[in-house]
Amino acid sequence: MARRVRPGRSGVALVIAMGTLTAACAPPGGDSPQPQATSAAPVSEAPTCGTAPVTMTGYFETGFPLPKELTTEFTKQHPNVTWDIREDQFAVLTQNAPRLLADNPPDLMRLPQLSELVKDNLMKNLDGYATAFGWDKWPASQLEQLRLGQGGRPRGEGSLYALGLNMSMTGVFYNKKLAEQIGMSAPPATLAEFDTLLDKAKSAGITPIVQFNGGATGGLAFPLQNLMASYGPSGPINDWIFQKPGATIDTPSNLQAVQHLERWIKAGYFQKDVNAVDYATMMSRFIDGQGLFMFNGDWESGNLDKQMAGNVGFTLMPSAQEGGKLATMSAPLTFGIAAKAKNADCAAYFLNWVATDKRAREIGVEVGGSRPLGPADAYMPEVAQDTVTAGTLAAGADIAADNGAMDFIANATGAIYAKGWTPQLQKLVAGEQTPQELLKTVQADYSGQIEGN
């Protein structure tokens, strides 16, 4: 006879099992000791990597050779330092960052948006190192985006929590051959001129702009933010990104920018399938000569110089007014030190070395294609004049002169890109969203996310 367990008994067993499983039912996050906020430990003299053998742990981004080239050169100059480096796609790195910094802190890490990491006390406060190494005497704009207030907000002021390996620069790349075809002899000086060029390209049967906007990547945020800075000052946009109290993205000049972008969409200046184009497709199309302009950053300079040698130019987005101030997205390639890093001193020494060593600065320009950080009068490597790298480096100087560096509107909060900009811009392309509502919706998302934190 098959024996049946009485339901009562198995029920009791289940309850006991579940009880032991959720033992004590302590609220999540309370079981491990919370890391305390690291205050700037006073550093009496500039630290070094010493002479004893040391293995540094690094967590870098896949597909970007610069950090590894730098660590290799560093080991050449400092043979006692070896590197144990792990690499991941940026999306993976972003998702893993908090847990990794808490459980298995690397000495040096490529970082996503900093606010939440600082809020959870996962990053080392670098103020002490800044004084010891003299970083505080560098142009303030280089470090502004890496400064955070108590608890991670607002950004743009407060203590230093990371450093850049270089300062990336965004703008408009153009295909020189196609530009010649439509009679473009010089980059546009005003937004109106830019519009005329786009229209000429369209009439000539050339795709005016190749851009990505598919899947979870709303790449139209690049032209949009450039248009915002064309129509209005960059200061309020930065305030919004830095989560300063009362900041809003829903301003009259930003509305003009979104309306302008909508006109571009309706005029057919982007490809018809832009909502299905990812970043890699955009790059291959541009390199293939399938479009005149592309909004992108100088992290591609080296790549473009190699793949379209002599055929690619770079210009900053022109202002709506003739002679108006120039501004663009320009952000440090952010690297930080985990709060619980074992070799924090050596990591800080490395970051300082990247900005000050002659060879390191050369690698930064050759491999990274961007302007290295460091003192204003620091050594600048020579670059061949007809390369796009030379163009992006020169643009860096122009932006510095106009104090026009902005962080990305996609970086305002951890979720604003995925939840706000990307779906809203895709809707704008499909004609399912109006410019007014787009800004209102993004602003509402932004407020909700800030309150929720």
Partner 1 sequence: MTRPAGARSVHRRPVARKLRGTRGLVGWLFVAPAFAFYAVFVLRPIALTFQYSLYEWDGIGPSTWVGAANYGRVFTDRDLFESLVNAFQLIVFFSAVPVVLGLAVAATIRRIAASRLALVARTVLFLPQVIPLVAAGIAWSWLLASTGVVNQLLSLVGLGGVTRAWLGDFATALPAVGMIGAWVLLGLCTLLLLAGMSKIDPALYEAARLDGAGPWREFVSITIPSLRQEIAVCVTVTVIAALASFDIVYISTQGGPGNTTMVPGLQIFYLAFADREVGTASALAMVLMILVIACALPIQWFAKDNNR
**Chain positions contacting partner 1, by CB under 8 A:** 3, 5, 17-18, 21-22, 25, 27-30, 34, 94-95, 98-99, 102, 116, 119-120, 122, 213-217, 271-277, 414-415, 418-419, 422-424, 426-427, 429-430, 432-433, 449, 452-453
Give the shortest CB-231-to-partner 1 separation in angstroms. 25
Q: Which two tokens stand for residue 257?
A: 């920018």
Q: Which is nearer to partner 1, 302 or 336 (CB)?
A: 336
Give the shortest CB-110-to-partner 1 separation in angstroms. 17
CA atoms of 98 and 247, how far apart (whole Å): 27
Please enumerate in sequence order all residues whose Cβ is within 8 A of that of 11, keeping only pairs 6 or more positions apart, or say none. Answer: none
What own/partner pairs with CB < 8 Å and gap ≥ 24 does 128-133 have?
128/40, 128/41, 128/42, 128/43, 129/43, 129/47, 129/348, 129/351, 129/352, 130/160, 131/43, 132/43, 132/44, 132/45, 132/46, 132/47, 133/46, 133/348, 133/352
Give the shortest CB-258-to-partner 1 separation in angstroms. 15
Distance of CA 280 to the CA centre of its chain: 17
The DSSP letter of residue 197 is H
Q: Which is nearer to partner 1, 307 or 453 (CB)?
A: 453
Q: Which is nearer to partner 1, 88 or 398 (CB)?
A: 88
Strands (E), 150-233: 159-160, 163-167, 170-175
Give the shortest CB-102-to-partner 1 separation in angstroms. 5
Q: Which is nearer to partner 1, 50 or 149 (CB)?
A: 149
Give the shortest CB-450-to-partner 1 separation in angstroms. 13
Whether the CB-CB separation of 407 and 238 falls below 8 Å is answered with yes
Give the shortest CB-430-to-partner 1 separation in angstroms. 5
Give the shortest CB-418-to-partner 1 separation in angstroms. 6
CA atoms of 72 and 81, how far apart (whole Å): 10
- Considering only CA atoms, give the Rg of the chain: 25
CA distances (Å), 24 to each of 28, 34, 47, 104, 164, in order? 11, 19, 45, 26, 44
Q: Which is nearer to partner 1, 116 or 366 (CB)?
A: 116
Query: What is the number of H-type helices and E-type strands within the chain?
Result: 18, 12
Closest CA to 296 of 397, 111, 113, 168: 168
Q: Which is nearer to partner 1, 75 or 94 (CB)?
A: 94
- Strands 328-329 and 293-297, by their bridges, are unpaired
Give the shortest CB-246-to-partner 1 separation in angstroms. 24
- Alpha carbons within 13 A on the beta-carbon side of 13: 6
Q: Which is nearer to partner 1, 233 or 414 (CB)?
A: 414
Give the shortest CB-76-to-partner 1 separation in angstroms. 37
Q: Which is nearer to partner 1, 211 or 301 (CB)?
A: 211
Q: Which is nearer to partner 1, 180 or 273 (CB)?
A: 273
CA atoms of 41 and 44, how far apart (whole Å): 9
